[in-house]
Structure 1
Amino acid sequence: MGRRLGLLTGPSCGWSGLAASAALLMAGAAPARADRLEVLVTGVPSDLGVVACSLHRDPGGFPQGTPLAADRVPPRDGQARCVFSGLAPGRYAVAALHDADADGQLGVNFLGIPTEGWGVSGNAAPRLRAPRFDESAFDLGPDPMGLQITLR
């Protein structure tokens, strides 16, 4: 964008140059973006390790697939705040986990039941399976948004 703005300041820039520059700027305008999605994760049992949040837009990749974006923050006083910026409006879901041992994975027992705290947007908590995207999804508009996930 800096180069396009330079068209407005050149020595030979008259009204026609200004109009052409404005047209270029409008043609290159980015789609609407949300300034910020802030996720407050509560119910974190200790200040050990990190809280990892993953933002998903693909229903097929939720919650274990490759996320669109991720944030890892240290917990403090039973909570953590993950932040995602520059997102296009659309349908998203967030998964959060308390990675108490900071090994980068959700700890599970021999039955596959999580031993570390986890949660998803919408606080869906199905029994005996992972939450689905449609149970956890929310619509993000062009304005900043906050949501809360309570770990289980």
Structure 2
Amino acid sequence: MFKHVLKRSRAGAWMLASMMGAAALPLHVQAVEAESVVVRMTDFVNDNGRVQCGLFDREDGWRDESRALKMTTARIEGKRATCRFEQVDPGQYAVAVFHAQANESQVNYGLFGKPQQGVGFSNNPSVTWGPPSFDEAAFRIESATVNLDVQMKY
């Protein structure tokens, strides 16, 4: 297609080749920015203790506080609390929270593995027949702050 243009002049050929090379380069490189995840929790049975919030980025170790990508805590006021995770890269994540009424650092389990504290998860999946899978609680972060509403279950 460009044979006749290239034969006309060397200057034209050089210019055409330069333009074609420049067209192959991206005009604008956009940096991937880290975002925030804001978790608003409701339905606490009381304001005792604090809420422990974990952000997870994989199925392996999901819900194990020691395997969380990020952990934070928040005070409970008026049976509500808010946890915030800053500098979260785009990707797939899930959130697990529990009501640490006695300021414990991990969930305690009773008969048949039922949590002894209130728990909650992103997407508010059912916990009637056991804990949710990572996929049931998973959400994506693309390029904006993610706001999640989590209802505590006891």
Deviation at 1:140, TM superposition (A): 0.8
Return the alpha-carbon distance in structure 2 between the equivalents of residues 142 and 62 of structure 1: 24
Where does 1:80-119 land on structure 2 (aligned, <5 Å)? 80-119=81-120
Cα RMSD for the two superposed structures: 1.9
Return the alpha-carbon distance in structure 2 between the equivalents of residues 105 and 87 of structure 1: 23
Task: Please say if 1:64 is aligned against 2:64.
Answer: yes
Structure 1 unaligned segments of length 5 or more: list them: 1-25
- Is contact 1:63-1:131 (8 Å) kept? no
Return the alpha-carbon distance in structure 2 between the equivalents of residues 87 and 31 of structure 1: 11
Q: SS of 1:70's equivalent?
A: strand
Deviation at 1:64, TM superposition (A): 1.7
Deviation at 1:58, TM superposition (A): 1.1
Q: SS of 2:60's equivalent?
A: helix
Where does 1:3-152 land on structure 2 (aligned, <5 Å)? 31-34=32-35, 36-64=36-64, 66-152=67-153
User: TM-score w.r.t. structure 1 length?
Assistant: 0.75
Deviation at 1:106, TM superposition (A): 1.5
Q: SS of 1:31's equivalent?
A: coil
Return the alpha-carbon distance in structure 2 between the equivalents of residues 110 and 139 of structure 1: 34
User: TM-score w.r.t. structure 2 length?
Assistant: 0.74
Paired positions, count:
125
Larger Rg: 2
Report Cα offsets for 1:65-118 as digits up to 9, x if no partner: 510101111111011100011111111000010011112121322332112100
Identity across aligned pairs (percent)?
A: 27
Q: SS of 1:135's equivalent?
A: helix
